[in-house]
């Protein structure tokens, strides 16, 4: 179906999320809680756009808005900019320690005189880390406590036996709120220390043993296949493809 985004006509499949159509077209819409691996969540509201269908216009979160008919979309209007600025100020108040939010704060010319409760806080509670942890089957972290004390943590804030040290949570975090401290031969995440296993191909230390075991189980490989770092796995797959092409 045909839709128009910022004056440019484009095609969208029924049910396709508006944000994804806009990205395909090269239109920049700021996002925080969206990740291509997990889709939209509609939590941060930063991806707000104006959608007009017939005579009716309304503001929607583009990451959770499925295209179901012909619409016209505007991604920036004075009202959108004003609301987005307020959202960024609220996010900045919650997570002033995040460099990404600081950049947005400057880009949108925000100004605020009220000091933030915790100047080092970086988490905006978007739950992308929880989604990533569930996706790898670890389920080691979740939202704990209530109200202003609500945060993402392991049960009782203790080193969780369910954590496999894959660091997918830290990887997807849009505000870099999840700390991974590294030292020679090991690293610590969520209060649990993991020894770094070396890649069976290049010898580079790259991940933990529990993570290798999980990769092997999820991919149905032998553990030896999961003992290769991503680069060596890619090379191995490439050489298999090349061999299969030899007549
Ligand atoms: S990116 Fe759409 S609501 Fe957060």
pTM above 0.85, yes or no: yes
* Dihedral sign, Cα of residue 164, residue 192, residue 148, residue 124: negative
Question: Which of 129-133, 184-188, 240-244 shows the lowest mean pLDDT across its residues?
Answer: 240-244
Within a domain: residue 189?
A: no
> Are residues 27 and 54 located together in one domain of the fold?
yes
State the closest ligand 1 atom to the C-alpha of 47, by its place in the atom list counted from 1: 2
Ligand 1 pocket, residues with Cβ under 6 angstroms:
31-34, 40, 42-47, 61, 63
What is the domain range of residue 136? 127-180
The rounded Å distance from CA 37 to ligand 1 centre is 14
Judge whether residue 243 has pLDDT over 80.
no
Q: Per residue in 167-215, pLDDT tens? A: 999 999 999 999 999 998 999 999 999 999 999 889 999 899 999 898 8
Q: How confident is the model at residue 117 (pLDDT cuts 50, 70, 90)?
A: confident
> Are residues 10 and 65 located together in one domain of the fold?
yes
Domain count, the chain: 3
Within a domain: residue 102?
A: no
The CA-to-CA distance between both ends of the chain, in Å, stands at: 44
Rg (CA), the chain: 22
Question: Which pLDDT does position 229 carry in this prediction?
Answer: 87
Among the candidates 35, 58, 76, a domain finishes at: 76
- Domain of residue 6, CATH code: 3.10.20.740
Residue 61 near residue 48, CB atoms below 8 Å: yes
The rounded Å distance from CA 34 to ligand 1 centre is 5
Residue 80 near residue 50, CB atoms below 8 Å: yes
Question: Which pLDDT does position 241 carry in this prediction?
Answer: 53
72 has which bridge partners? 4, 52
């Amino acid at each position: 179906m045909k839709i128009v985004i910022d004056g440019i006509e484009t095609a969208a499949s029924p049910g396709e999320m508006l944000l994804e159509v806009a990205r395909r077209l090269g239109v920049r819409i700021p996002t925080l809680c969206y990740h291509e691996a997990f889709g939209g969540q509609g939590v941060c509201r930063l991806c707000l756009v104006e959608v007009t269908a017939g005579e009716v216009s309304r503001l929607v979160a583009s990451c959770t808005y499925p295209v179901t008919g012909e619409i016209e979309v505007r991604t920036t209007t004075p009202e959108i900019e004003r609301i987005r600025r307020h959202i960024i100020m609220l996010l900045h108040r919650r997570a002033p320690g995040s460099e990404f939010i600081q950049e947005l704060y400057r880009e949108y010319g925000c100004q605020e005189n009220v000091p933030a409760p915790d100047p080092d806080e970086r988490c905006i509670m978007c739950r992308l880390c929880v989604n990533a942890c569930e996706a790898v089957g670890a389920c080691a972290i979740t939202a704990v406590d209530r109200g202003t004390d609500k945060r993402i943590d392991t049960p009782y804030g203790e080193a969780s036996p369910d954590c496999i040290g894959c660091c997918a949570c830290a990887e997807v975090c849009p505000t870099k709120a999840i700390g991974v401290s590294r030292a020679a031969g090991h690293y610590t995440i969520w209060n649990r220390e993991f020894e770094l296993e070396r890649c069976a191909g290049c010898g580079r230390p790259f991940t933990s043993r529990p993570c290798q075991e999980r990769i092997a189980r999820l991919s149905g490989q032998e553990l030896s296949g999961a003992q290769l770092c991503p680069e060596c796995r890619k090379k191995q797959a490439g050489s298999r493809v090349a061999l299969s092409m030899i007549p």
